[in-house]
Every structure is written in C-alpha cells, then in structure tokens.
Amino acid sequence: MSATTGPIAKERFDAAGRRVLLVCVAGGFTTLLDQSVLNTSIPALRETLHAQPAHLQWIVAGYSLAFGLALIPGGRLGDVKGRKWFFVTGLALFTLVSLVSATATDPTVLIAARLLQGTGAGLVNSQMIGTLQDVFDGQLRTRALGMYAVTGSLAFALGPPIGGAVLAAAGPELGWRLTFLLNVPFGLATLALAVRHLPKPRPRTSHADLDLLGLLLVAALTLALMLPFVQPPGWTGWLAFAAAALLLLGTLTWWQRRYARAGGHPLIHPALTRSAPYALGTATAMAQFGSALAASLVLTMFLQDGLGLSPIGAALVSLPSAVAMAVASALAWRVVQRFGRRTVTVGMTGSALAMLASGLLAHWAPAAVVPWLLALLQFLGGASVGVMSSTNQAYVLRHAPAEAAGVSGAILQMAQRIAAAVAVSALSGVYLRETAGGGGHRSAYLAASTVCAAVAGLAVLASVLAGRASAREQREADPVATSSRGRTAVR
C-alpha cells in the first residue's frame, strides 16, 4: 500500500514512504535546530539589544513553552481536518517569523517573535508525529519514529557548532541575526517538499475536541513554575507561587478526569497517568531534556563570558558532544539488544555525572585547561544522551495504553518542552543572578551545573522506577512465563 493512501506494511520503505519520511525529518531538523543554534548567540544578542536577564530567559524559554502548548491542539486539529495544510501553515509561520526575529531591535519584539516561532514549530511537529503514525505501520512505524527522535538529537547537538561558525564568520551583531535567518532556506525547502509529497488530507466527519480549559490550565501551571525564576520574589512570593502551582495541578487533574468521564478527549488522557511505566518514562524524558537544554545554554554563557572564548571556540568545546551523540544514537539499538531497559538508566547516570564533573572542574582547574576538560566531558555526556534518548522514547511509547496511543507521542513531546521552558528559566536565572551578585563566573557555573546534575539525577531515579514498574507489569501480564524464567534461573 502506498504512502499516500494508507499504511505501509513492507519491511523496507518504498519510494513514497521515503519521501514522506524525508519531509518529516527535514521539518523536525529545521524546527529543533533553532533553539540549540540560538544558545551560542545569547551573549552577542544580549549586548546588541541591551537585554536584561529576564528578557534572555523569555527569549530562550518562550520558544519551548509555546512549542509544547501547540502540540496537542495541533495534533487534534490534524486528526480531524487533515495534517498536510496544518504542517504547511505551521512551517510557513515559523519561517516568516524567523525574519522578524532576525531584524528585531528590541528585546520585547524578539520575545513575541519567539513565542510565535514556537507556536509554528509545535504545529509542525504535531503533524509530523501524526503523519508518521498514519503512513507507516508495525516495524516501519517504529523505525520512522526512531529516525525522527535521532534527528532531534542531532539537531540539538549540531546547533552550537553551527551557531559558532556563523558568529565567527559574520561577527557578533550580524552573526546572531544570521542564526535566525538560517531557518529561512531550510524552511522554504521543506515547504516545497511538504506541498509536493505529504499525503493529501482525507475528509473526516468527527469534530476537533481541543479541551481548551485543559490547555489553559497547563499553560498557567507552567507559568507558575517559570515566573519565580524570571522575576525572583521574596519568600512570601515563593510560597504564593508554590500554592498556586499546587492548586492548578489539582484543578488540572480534576478537570481531566471529569472531561474524560463526560466523553471528551482530555488534553492529558487519564489512562496515561495510570500507566506507571509511561508516566515514569515521561518523567525521565522531561528531566533529561530540561537539564540538557539548560546545561547547554549555561555552558555557552560560561565559555564566552567567563573564559572569554570566541563563539567558534565555545562551539569547538561543544562539538565533541555532537559527534558522540551522533555515533551513540546510531549504535543505541545494539546496546539495547545487549543490556535492555538498563541502557536508559546507565546513560542518564553518565549524563548526570558529566554535568556535575563539568561544574567542579571548571571551578577548580586552571583556566588554561578548563576548555579541554569540558570538551572531554561534553564527549562523555553526548555519548550518554545519545544512547538513552531514543531508547527511552521507544520504551515510553511501548507502554502507552491502547485507548491513548494516538496522543501518547504528542504528550511526551509536550511534557519535554514544558520541562525545558521551566529548566532553562531556572538554570539561566541561577547563573545570571550568581554572576550579577559578584560570585564570579566559575562559582556561577558550578552552582548551575550542580542543579543541572540534580535534575538529571531525578531522571535516573525515574528511570529505575520505570524499569521496576515495567517488570511488574510483565509479571502481572504473564505470570506463568515469569515463573518459568525464575525456576530456570534457580537451576
């Protein structure tokens, strides 16, 4: 069956399937590269626009926030109205607003543009997930989703070297603007491919059930977690934000259950939270993605502001991470075949240790050797993330309940993006406030890296618990086979 008319059940992608996969991979690379490229440009952007710390936090975190919030409604609209033209609309918005970002002369304009870019990117990525699930079936679907995940990892890893090269070639002010303009040729090329090769929309009789109240509650909860780090309040303010977050979380939980009982399609299907392996695997992905993005941003600021490296010098320190992540992602399936679910836990542990070691060495080692040591740790951290990221995604989606399988991938991505918005706000705030308070760049980087490592440590814990929950589900599903394996092991 062709890629434009229904599922493909062959062992190999046919020509139509390869073209659809190319469009989805290109769209993912274009929208996911944006944020990692921008990290390298933050010091130059700050000087040109005279941006305050709160501006920088919104410029970086706002993209992830809007990206995450657009995923579920975008996916639902694509389910009902067809995915092709929502993909094209989202990518056109992302590409057009990239021009606004590149020409911004005021931080608030850039913040607004980043929110719109994130909305377009979320609309694009929600259609890609749905398209891959619509077009491919069985093993080919797993391979296609795996390639999409690997593309995201590569875009994240390649961003700093690309951004550094652009800044080195064009200079600080023009350079950061060109990093936004990079989106334009990628976006236009992908638009042309999408118009030509994505499957035509099929008419559907159902209506789009968007759960707008659920979306608003998630947005409010995310803001309640972000704002204390963007504009730090006093102790009474922290308590007020904590109380608001708990109230919003309770309200969201109540509303999702009520909406589901009424026959609607809630933003976060209750069945997903009842699946312990899915919920814990999602928590692992959230902590990993948030800590990784925050660590990359803080590293870039430390290398340029603290050690005085040029953008290309900072990019070269990050380059080993890109290489290691690419190789490890390609070989991850071999590691999983040998070690199974433990691959995620071991990889996440390596990432957490690399973050902690980076902060300690940057604080105590002689300045002349710090870039070399950080490059080595970037290599180790990149290999750790590469081997566990797509592996964890595969295990998470495998445990999605059947009644919520269609939205499980979008929920996972939304959770990661929201976690990134909160983590980037918090960790960049830690670094910027420590340097502004006279603590020095080394102390600031140690503090931020320690918090990053602690967040990654939470991912390790969640991964261990997810593995136990998965094993418990297997025992409950097939107690005879489990008992037989136990007797064999005893013998």
Mapping DSSP onto H, E and C, the string for 126-193 reads HHHHHHHHHHECHHHHHHHHHHHHHHHHHHHHHHHHHHHHHHHHHCHHHHHHHHHHCHHHHHHHHHHH
Mean pLDDT to the nearest integer, 121-127: 89
Token pair, residue 73, equals 């409604």
* pLDDT bucket at 299, cuts 50 / 70 / 90: very high
pLDDT at 361 > cutoff 90: yes
Mean pLDDT of 125-137: 81
* Domain locations in the chain as residue ranges: 1-202, 268-476
Higher pLDDT, 356 or 82: 356
Q: What is the pLDDT of residue 355?
A: 96
Q: Rounded to two decimals, what is the model's pTM?
A: 0.83
Token code pair at residue 124: 């694009």
Top CATH class, 1-202: mainly alpha
Task: Output Rg (C-alpha) for the chain, integer angstroms.
Answer: 22
Q: What integer best gives the mean pLDDT of the chain?
A: 85
Given a cut of 70, whether residue 464 has pLDDT beyond it is yes
Predicted confidence band at 325 (pLDDT cuts at 50, 70, 90)? confident
- pLDDT digit string, tens, across residues 53-99: 889 889 988 898 899 888 888 888 887 788 899 999 999 999 999 99
Q: What is the pLDDT of residues 141-195, one digit of tens each?
A: 767 777 777 787 778 778 888 888 888 888 888 999 999 998 899 899 999 999 9
CA distances from 147 to 144, 152, 191, 292, 414 (A): 5, 9, 20, 20, 19
Please state whether 168 falls in left (phi above 0), alpha (psi between -120 and 50) or beta: alpha
**What does the pLDDT read at residue 331?**
80
Residues 288, 354 contacting (CB under 8 angstroms):
no
Whether the Cβ atoms of residue 394 and residue 264 lie closer than 8 Å to each other: no
Q: Tell me the pLDDT band of 6, cut-offs 50, 70 and 90.
A: very low
| Rounded distance between C-alpha atoms, residue 409 and residue 412, angstroms | 5
Annotate 267-282 with b (16+ C-beta within 10 A) or e (fewer).
Answer: bbbbbbbebbbbbbbb
pLDDT for res 16:
83
CATH topology (fold) of 268-476: Growth Hormone; Chain: A; (1.20.1250)
pLDDT band at 203 (very low <50, low <70, confident <90, very high): low
Rounded CA-CA distance 226/218 in Å is 12
pLDDT at residue 204 in the model: 60
Taking only the tens place, the pLDDT of each residue in 412-454 is 888 998 999 999 988 988 898 888 777 789 999 999 999 999 9
What pLDDT score does 491 carry? 41
- Residue 260: pLDDT over 80: yes
Judge whether residue 1 has pLDDT over 50: no
Beta-ladder partners of 8 = 136
